Amino acid sequence: MSDKTLVCDVLIVGGGPAGLSVASTLPDDVRTVIVHQDHEIGLPVRTSGACWMQDVERLGIPVEMCKRMNIHDAYSDNEHTRVALGKEIPVILDTPRLYKWLAEQSDHKDRTLLLGTKFLSTQQRDDGLYESRIRARDNSYDCVISKYIVDGSGWHFAVLNALGLVEKPERLAVGIEYEYPLGDNADDRVLIFFGEKVLAGYGWAFATAQGTMRLGVGVIQPDTDKSPRDLIDAVVRDKRYLDRLELKLEGDPIVHSGILPSVAYDDRLVFGNVIRCGDSANFATPTIGEGIRVCIEYGRLLGELLGKAVKTGRHGPLRAYERRCRRKLKRDYKWGFLVNTRAAKYTPEQWDASVRRMRHVGPDAVAATFRGEFSTVKIAKILVTVVRPLIRSRLRRIKSRIGLT
């Protein structure tokens, strides 16, 4: 064994919210190594940071790390609706600060955080341990030997793919954001836009806690061959469209980009001593791709149960992690993926009708759809509020046809 080898109980590949949350709840004395490709936790920005106030409070995230959105607008090519969300309050997280805060939760533990380090490959040895090849930019390490590996590498599925357990997803949500000074834009407004500008996807804009404004678009590939960069540039150049969205852009933007898997939920999360979490486990909600809260919640759960597996040598705690994720997520994500795949095929006219429907669907139903929560009761409410106006419209046409008022 060379002096460039690290030995640990748990190797976590990925320093995003999932991997950091796993480390935060592992027992203090469990030897853990986190391999993270970026030079700094939280930078560059790869996610818009959308979340909900109830989850911020439930997860114990400091409220100063989020920006509350009080105005919610939805636009299509010919429609505009100011969306009511009832008790649900959307917020925008300051993701660099949040990720650093998550990393601090394991600073006191037997944990080594390797930044600017790329995971290359892994193989299981005859003794059951995993020998993973890594490349540190300063050449300080080149191998990690561990009993367990957590794949928190996002859409790369780096560990799972290296072991031939799961192939990288072919269907991806690809997004890009331009961040501008806030200027005269409202500091508590979030908007989404659909239609011709972003077919097979949607666009968004919101204020941030840093006094800036982000404008972004995301599309599903290969459902479309459009480049999100070309789409957002077309939006930026169209002053009439920006005026309609009530957006004013000033200065040169900072560019952010990110990728999420956009595939059906796979409830197999445990492969022997290899476990996936976060985007590698398709935890981002299929409806609007918002997953930080899910990654934190189930990353913490995995850390707690993986700690029990390390201590006892038993596999039962890992099976419990898989069962609890399945029980909570599988139904919602099945319905959410149906919404996702259908919406990716919408025409501009269908988006007009969808934005109109938001005026009639109750706040709870709209919020449930955005959050990707599809209980039987909520599905029934959505169907009733969608079908009722359609029936009324059909009856009005019939009465008009036969001469009744």
Mean pLDDT value across the chain: 91
- Give the pLDDT score at 362: 83
End-to-end CA distance of the chain: 88
Structure tokens belonging to residue 342: 């259908």
Residue 296 pLDDT more than 70? yes
CA distances from 103 to 17, 28, 283, 382 (A): 9, 14, 20, 39
Which of 204-208, 209-213, 381-385, 397-401 has the lowest average pLDDT?
381-385
Local confidence band at 137 (pLDDT 50, 70, 90 cut-offs): confident
Which phi and psi angles does 203 have, rounded to 5°? -120, 165
Sign of CA dihedral 213, 55, 338, 163: positive
CATH of domain 66-93+170-261: 3.30.9.10
- Give the pLDDT score at 216: 97
Residue 270 pLDDT more than 90? yes
More confident residue, 298 or 87: 298
Average pLDDT over residues 18-27: 98
What tens digit of pLDDT does each residue of 352-373 get?
999 999 988 888 888 888 888 8
317 vs 328: CA distance, rounded Å: 17
Structure tokens belonging to residue 203: 């666009």
What tens digit of pLDDT does each residue of 160-212 get?
999 999 999 999 999 999 999 999 999 999 999 999 999 999 999 999 988 99
From 71, 46, 74, 51, select the one nearest 193 (Cα to Cα). 74
More confident residue, 179 or 389: 179
Alpha helices of 59-125 — where are they, by DSSP H? 95-104
SS3 state of residue 200? coil
Residue 5 pLDDT more than 50? yes
Kindly calculate the radius of gyration of the chain based on its CA atoms and give it in whole angstroms. 23
- Give the pLDDT score at 386: 47
From 25, 246, 273, select the one nearest 149 (Cα to Cα). 273
Work out the percent of the chain whose per-residue pLDDT is above 90.
81
- Give the pLDDT score at 394: 57
More confident residue, 255 or 390: 255
Which phi and psi angles does 341 have, rounded to 5°? -70, -35
385 vs 103: CA distance, rounded Å: 44
Average pLDDT over residues 95-100: 96
Residue 304 pLDDT more than 90? yes
Assigned CATH topology for domain 5-45+96-168+267-338: FAD/NAD(P)-binding domain (3.50.50)
Are 238 and 281 in contact by the 8 Å Cβ rule? The answer is no
Local confidence band at 246 (pLDDT 50, 70, 90 cut-offs): very high
Helix 348-357 to helix 376-401 angle (10° resolution) is 110
Residue 96 pLDDT more than 70? yes
Tokens 């890992």 -> residue? 318
Residue 400 pLDDT more than 80? no
Half-sphere exposure in the Cβ direction for 209 (13 Å, CA): 18
Question: Domain-by-domain residue ranges, the chain?
Answer: 5-45+96-168+267-338, 66-93+170-261, 348-401
Are 346 and 354 in contact by the 8 Å Cβ rule? The answer is yes
Residue 87 pLDDT more than 70? yes
Give 249's contacts (C-beta < 8 A, 6+ positions apart). Answer: 178, 180, 183, 215, 236, 242
Average pLDDT over residues 2-17: 91
Residue 2 pLDDT more than 70? no
- Give the pLDDT score at 378: 55
Task: For Cα atoms 380, 385, 390, give the angle at the middle one, nearest 5 degrees.
Answer: 120
List, in sequence order, every beta strand (DSSP E) within 237-364: 254-261, 270-271, 274-276
